[in-house]
Amino acid sequence: MLNSERCRNLYTRDGMLNPELVRVLKIPNWEYHTAEYLYELRLKVDHRLVRSVLEMDFELDIKIQFFKWTGATTKMFQHDSSSYMVLIRCLEEAKLYSEIHTTIQDVLNNTFVRFSLPQLSELSL
């Protein structure tokens, strides 16, 4: 079991993600144990955390799974347009256009998320 006291702060004093969280996310291939470790960290999931993870140098599959995990397992959290935009940029960088299309469809079906015109203009699809 991970030490939750040590992991209480998600960010170090210099604004970097907690090394324990980074270590868990660097586990290759998202497995049940990865989600279990994240749960043990007692993360306070917010949009800043999601964006930070998506902007770091993790495997794309880990980023996608983290995005899905935070949206599905956290009762008091819903992705907003900023977290969706970072995910879309990751998918665009990997040239996963069908995944981008699916993500945009998810956004259109989500009553919580609204894109602004400037955000929509960023999409070069």
pLDDT 10s digits, 62-108: 999 999 999 988 778 899 989 999 999 999 999 999 999 999 888 88
Q: Are 60 and 90 in contact (CB under 8 A)?
A: yes
Residue 61: name the closest of 31, 22, 106, 20 by CA.
Answer: 31
Lowest mean pLDDT among 8-12, 13-17, 81-85: 8-12
The conformation of residue 8, written as its DSSP 8-state character, comes to S
Average pLDDT, the chain: 83
Q: How confident is the model at residue 4 (pLDDT cuts 50, 70, 90)?
A: very low
Give the model's pLDDT for residue 5.
Answer: 45
The Cα 50–Cα 115 span in angstroms is 17
> What does pTM read for this prediction?
0.81
Task: Enumerate the H helices of 6-109 as residue ranges.
Answer: 19-25, 32-40, 47-55, 60-73, 81-93, 97-108
Residue 17: which region, alpha, beta or left (left: phi > 0; alpha: psi -120 to 50)?
A: beta
What's the burial of 113, exposed, middle or buried (CB within 10 Å: 0-12/13-18/19+)? middle
Mean pLDDT on 25-49: 85
Rg for the chain (alpha carbons), in Å?
15
The Cα 94–Cα 84 span in angstroms is 15
